[in-house]
Amino acid sequence: MAEVLGVLTKYNQLMYQGLQETLYMVGFSLIIAVSCGIPLGILTAITRKGHILENKVLHKFLDIIINIGRSIPFIILMVAVIPFTRLLVGTSIGTTAAIVPLALAAIPFVGRVIDNSIQEVSLGVIEAAQSMGATPGQIVWKVLLPESLPSIILGITLTAINLIGYSAMAGAIGGGGLGDIAIRYGYQRFKIGIMIETVVILIILVQVIQWFGNKLAAYFDHKT
Amino acid sequence: MIELKDLNKQYRTPHGSLTAIESINLKIREGEIFGIIGPSGAGKSTLIRTLNLLEKPTSGRILINGQDITALSSKALRKKRQKIGMIFQHFNLLSSRTVRDNICFSLEIAGVPRAKQASRVERLMELVDLTDRADHYPAQLSGGQKQRVGIARALANQPELLLSDEATSSLDPESTESVLKLLAKIRDELKLTVVLITHEMEVIKQVCDRVAVLEKGKIIEQGKVIDIFANPVQPLTRRFIKSVIDFNLPTNLIDEHNSDQLIRVSFLGKSTHQPLISSLVRKYGVNANILYGKIDDIQGTPFGTLVLKLEGEEKLVKDGVAYLNERGLSVEVLNHG
């Protein structure tokens, strides 16, 4: 037992750095994905048939874009966007470079999550706002987003957890983070203890994020 | 105030076009509570929703104070809608806002300066008697309270017209009554015009001045509520009236008296204050035995029916019936005996 603990302490510094890298990648890609995905999701939702800015062509276009984005396996996307990553970051290796494919994969995901959340807002409430003379912009800001906020928060929580999973994969191509450690030490050097430790840290991380997301969503939810 | 001219609305469905309302011509006067009643699927909802163009008519014109709202630009229409309040069957309140903020919502939409919002909201909460619920969320309110929030919200921008889309249909009888009383009160105090749709004759009976009956997209009968109640023409109208005031004789009574002379006397308003039955007895020497009776009241006007068994000489009975007719009662002979 003492031996195992000794090994673990030896690698504490390594684990700490890995966790930091994971949080850095996930945090930044999440911010980018949310800031692009929310407008994408809103636009997809409100151009749907019968909604406030019905537009068949635009809706179909956005819908297909989101579906395509979500059907590409992350591992393939990661490799495919290397030239783009190089253009943007200057390199295709390292944690900063990993943010590019992570964000690109998460944007359509967030888009769909927001689209779904907004669809949950009852048409009656939207109609009430229209009957008061609200503009589409007012309806988005004062009705759609506040009314679907709890659902949006849960959706973003889901995205964050997905990104943790993806970031582990990014480790495979030199992205750094906990996934990288698990592969280099655990898989390639047969250090099972380290592999288990990274997994435990990831489990705790996911639990904490989900718990926080649930709490935050409940705080904003006044439906019951 | 409102004039609908040749209003039509057709929906395109995969199975061809469906007519929701057809050739609607209607005038609604300023300051009245106008009711539109019809069974479900009659087009009531479509009709009321054309009044603020939530539903665009296929053809026809909608004049509000002489202005054709179908010709307005979308910006001008939004401005106009601020002066047309609307309340809904399912309230349609924002679940994420408190009572206070829900009412404030319509002021925000209209761009009322923040400094003015608070005092107006306070006054509206007083009007609908919800001051003590100001910081509650809709989920914490009863149906009646939610609808009162809806009313306050609809009144926030001082509309000239209030549309009520089945506003009491999902409320219990007690809340229905309090909401209807509130509607009558705001009409009196704020001098606005109210158009409501309902499938409940009780609502029409309690608050409406005039009523139109809608069947399969067409108006089949309209007039003052009291006149429609006293003298319904269409079978559908009769059915609606029967749902609140059933003047039919119980069948066992009919069987029991199938060899007697029975008449049904209906009366409305003033004639109830005259001792007509006793005059009948005294003047013609006819014996009148009251078998069955019902008296109701429509917004303060007594309205009722009596079934009498008459006994006496045939000619005297005939004269007596003629006398009652003369005095403004409507008499129907049920059974000649």
The answer to whether residue B105 neighbours chain A at the CB level (below 8 Å) is: yes
Higher pLDDT, A27 or B248: A27
Position A29 scores a pLDDT of 96
The amino acid sitting at B193 is: T
Higher pLDDT, B23 or A174: B23
User: Rounded to 5 degrees, what are φ and ψ at A55?
Assistant: -155, 100
Alpha-carbon distance A148 to nearest alpha carbon in chain B (angstroms): 9
pLDDT tens digit sequence for A85-113 = 999 988 888 889 999 999 999 999 999 99
Alpha-carbon distance B70 to nearest alpha carbon in chain A (angstroms): 15
B139 contacts A224? CB cut-off 8 A? yes
Higher pLDDT, B109 or B330: B109
CB neighbour list of residue B190: distance below 8 Å, 6 or more residues apart: B155, B158
Domain definitions of chain A by residue range: 14-220
A132 contacts B109? CB cut-off 8 A? yes
B157 contacts A132? CB cut-off 8 A? yes
What is the 3-state composition of chain B as percent helix, strand, coil, each rounded to the nearest 5?
Answer: 40, 30, 30
Position A3 scores a pLDDT of 61
A220 contacts B94? CB cut-off 8 A? no
Chain B residues with CB-CB distance to A128 below 8 A: 86, 88, 92-93
Which residue matches tokens 């990288």?
A: A180
Rg of chain B (C-alpha set): 24
B54 contacts A223? CB cut-off 8 A? no
The span from the CA of B109 to the CA of A121, in Å, is: 18
B95 contacts A133? CB cut-off 8 A? no
pLDDT tens digit sequence for B128-157 = 999 999 999 999 999 999 999 999 999 999
Cβ contacts below 8 Å, chain A against chain B, sum to: 68
The span from the CA of B160 to the CA of B137, in Å, is: 28
Q: In chain A, what percentage of residues exceed pLDDT 70?
A: 96
**Residue of B81, B92, B101, B106 to mutate for A, most A C-beta atoms under 10 A:** B92
pLDDT tens digit sequence for A180-221 = 888 888 778 888 888 888 889 999 999 999 999 999 999 999
DSSP one-letter string for B37-74: E--TTSSHHHHHHHTTTSS--SEEEEEETTEEGGG--H
B267 bridge partner residues? B304
Q: HSE on the CB side for A52, CA within 13 Å?
A: 29
Interface residues from chain A to B (CB-CB < 8 Å): 122, 124-125, 127-135, 138, 142-143, 146-147, 149, 220, 222-224
pLDDT tens digit sequence for B250-304 = 777 777 777 788 888 887 776 656 677 788 888 888 888 888 888 888 888 888 8
Considering only the beta carbons, identify the residue of B79, B84, B94 that sits closest to A147. B94
Position B235 scores a pLDDT of 92
Give the pair of three-digit tokens for residue A177: 């983070």
The span from the CA of B247 to the CA of B292, in Å, is: 9
With 90 as the cut, is the pLDDT of residue B100 above it?
yes
Position B330 scores a pLDDT of 78
Position B195 scores a pLDDT of 97
Distances (CA, A) of B165 to A20, A150, B50, B111: 57, 29, 12, 26
A131 contacts B93? CB cut-off 8 A? no
Q: In chain B, what percentage of residues exceed pLDDT 70?
A: 98
Position B272 scores a pLDDT of 58
| Minimum CA–CA partner of A221 in chain B | B96
Q: Which of A59-63, A112-116, B251-255 has the lowest mean pLDDT?
A: B251-255
With 90 as the cut, is the pLDDT of residue B329 above it?
no
The span from the CA of B96 to the CA of A146, in Å, is: 6
Band (A7; pLDDT cuts 50, 70, 90): low
Which superfamily, per CATH, for A14-220? MetI-like (1.10.3720.10)
Chain B residues with CB-CB distance to A53 below 8 A: none
With 70 as the cut, is the pLDDT of residue A1 above it?
no
Query: Closest by alpha carbon to A132, among B298, B118, B22, B92?
Result: B92
| Minimum CA–CA partner of A133 in chain B | B78
Band (B102; pLDDT cuts 50, 70, 90): very high
With 90 as the cut, is the pLDDT of residue B204 above it?
yes
β-strands B16-28, B287-298: how paired?
A: unpaired
**Coil, helix or strand at residue A51:** coil
Q: What is the pTM of this model?
A: 0.86
ipTM: 0.86
**Residue of A51, A131, A141, A148 to mutate for B, most B C-beta atoms under 10 A:** A131
pLDDT tens digit sequence for A125-166 = 999 999 999 999 999 999 999 999 999 999 999 999 999 999
Alpha-carbon distance B213 to nearest alpha carbon in chain A (angstroms): 25
Mean pLDDT of B234-249: 84
Considering only the beta carbons, identify the residue of A124, A146, A224 that sits closest to B92. A124
Q: Which of A214-223, B6-15, B253-262, B305-314 has the lowest mean pLDDT?
A: B253-262
Domain definitions of chain B by residue range: 2-243, 251-336
CATH match for B2-243 among 3.40.50.620, 2.70.70.10, 3.10.20.90, 3.40.50.300: 3.40.50.300
With 60 as the cut, is the pLDDT of residue B8 above it?
yes
The CATH number of the structural domain formed by B251-336 is: 3.30.70.260
DSSP state of B3: E
pLDDT tens digit sequence for B114-127 = 999 999 999 999 99
